């Protein structure tokens, strides 16, 4: 049965689809609100309440994302042409906005794109769309794998989960300085506590990089531990699109898949491995591992 919220969500979905298809048009408040038949006097607050970003910022990010793809698609457009397509009156303004968001100039991104800052910059777009997409999983999406043990370098976060973004930035900076690319050294996250513990001080997680048996681990000014993700049987569920919040996938494994499977969880925390899809501009995916006995 279709609920009032389903209808509301469908109207908001139309808005995002319209924006994506009409980035060359004037996407002002009155135009966009009319797509979903909402009042322009309330729509900007409705949009931000649902998606977590303002309409203006969403449109800016969508145009900048398209511009970044145009820079790498080999179609031969000049930076000036791409800047104008993105709604900037001058290439300098476009270059400043591009550097601020992606930490590269348009020309350097065209030559050698750095996809990690790209994914971070456009995360709000994926997150916004995920807020109105129903996240459902089925048992056929879960596979059981025999996983080999993996030696890892561990970067720990303890304390308030609201501060995790700062830890992630330090982790990325350390990994780059150590020459541990996600292309050659897999990235893992291990959760040792609830996502939102009653006491934020109890939150604990490990950000890890897989390293070879003989590969040195350099601290480079950070507190780095050496450890191992143990081998064994694991239930694995792949998540694509928005991988910033894997809680719905974890809840499915614990609440539905595990009780119905007859399996029992092993004495090691749930963890995930994140990786780029074949085309980096399509984003990342994450394999969520539930260790089994």
pTM of whole model > 0.85? no
Q: Of 87, 81, 70, which is closest to residue 27 (Cα–Cα)?
A: 87
Give me the sign of the Cα torsion angle 40, 42, 45, 49: negative
pLDDT at 278: 65
- pLDDT value for 285: 86
Q: What is the pLDDT of residue 121?
A: 85
Q: Which fold has domain 4-127?
A: Arc Repressor Mutant, subunit A (1.10.10)
Q: Kindly list the strands in the beta sheet with 204-210, ordered across the sheet, starting from the edge strand earlier in the chain.
A: 142-147, 232-240, 284-291, 271-276, 187-191, 204-210, 150-158, 225-229
Q: Yes or no: say if 38 and 46 are a contact pair by the CB < 8 Å rule.
A: yes
Per-residue pLDDT in tens (0 to 9) along the chain, 293 residues: 668 877 888 898 899 999 999 999 999 999 999 998 999 899 999 999 988 899 999 999 999 999 998 998 877 789 999 999 888 888 899 999 999 999 999 999 998 888 778 878 888 887 787 777 656 899 999 999 999 999 999 999 999 888 888 888 899 889 888 888 887 899 999 999 887 888 888 899 999 999 998 898 888 889 999 999 999 999 999 998 667 778 889 999 999 999 999 999 999 999 999 887 766 565 678 999 999 99
CA distances from 223 to 86, 151, 157, 179, 202 (A): 42, 17, 11, 17, 19
Greatest alpha-carbon pair distance for the chain in Å reads: 63
* Tokens coding 131: 């807020």
* Among candidate residues 239, 247, 249, 245, the one with its CA nearest the CA of residue 275: 239
Burial 159-180 (b: 16+ CB within 10 A, else e): eebeeeeebeeebbebbeebeb
Q: Is the dihedral of CA 93, 98, 104, 109 positive or negative?
A: negative
Which two tokens mark 237?
A: 């569920």
List of residues 6+ apart from 111 with CB closer than 8 A: none
Residues in contact with 45: Cβ distance below 8 Å, sequence separation at least 6, in sequence order: none
Q: How far is 84 from 19, CA to CA, in rounded Å? A: 17
**CB-CB contact of 15 with 32 (8 Å):** yes
What residue segments make up the domains of the chain, in order of their start?
4-127, 139-291
- CATH class of this structure's domain 139-291: alpha beta
Q: Give CA 3 to chain center in angstroms.
A: 29
Res 240: pLDDT? 82
């Amino acid at each position: 049965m279709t609920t009032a919220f389903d209808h509301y969500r469908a109207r908001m979905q139309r808005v995002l689809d319209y924006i994506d298809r009409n980035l060359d048009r004037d996407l002002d408040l009155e135009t966009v609100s009319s797509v979903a038949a909402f009042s322009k006097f309330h729509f900007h607050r409705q949009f931000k309440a649902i998606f977590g970003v303002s309409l203006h910022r969403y449109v800016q990010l969508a145009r900048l994302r398209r511009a970044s793809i145009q820079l790498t698609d080999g179609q031969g457009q000049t930076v000036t042409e791409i800047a104008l397509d993105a709604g900037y009156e001058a290439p300098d303004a476009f270059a400043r906005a591009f550097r601020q968001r992606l930490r590269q100039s348009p020309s350097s991104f065209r030559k050698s794109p750095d996809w990690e800052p790209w994914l971070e910059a456009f995360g709000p777009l994926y997150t916004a769309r995920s807020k109105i997409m129903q996240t459902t999983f089925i048992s056929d999406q879960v596979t059981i794998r025999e996983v080999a043990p993996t030696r890892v370098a561990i970067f720990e976060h303890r304390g308030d989960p609201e501060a995790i973004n700062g830890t992630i930035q330090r982790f990325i900076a350390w990994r780059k300085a150590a020459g541990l690319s996600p292309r050659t050294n897999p990235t893992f996250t291990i959760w040792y506590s609830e996502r939102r513990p009653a006491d934020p001080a109890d939150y604990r997680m490990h950000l890890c990089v897989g390293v070879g048996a003989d590969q040195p681990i350099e601290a480079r000014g950070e507190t780095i531990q050496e450890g191992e993700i143990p081998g064994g049987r694991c239930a694995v569920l792949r998540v694509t699109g928005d991988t910033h919040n894997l809680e719905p996938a974890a809840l499915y494994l614990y609440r539905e898949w595990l009780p119905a499977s007859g399996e029992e969880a092993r004495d090691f925390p749930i963890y995930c491995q994140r990786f780029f899809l074949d085309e980096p501009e399509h984003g990342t995916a994450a394999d969520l591992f539930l260790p089994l006995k």
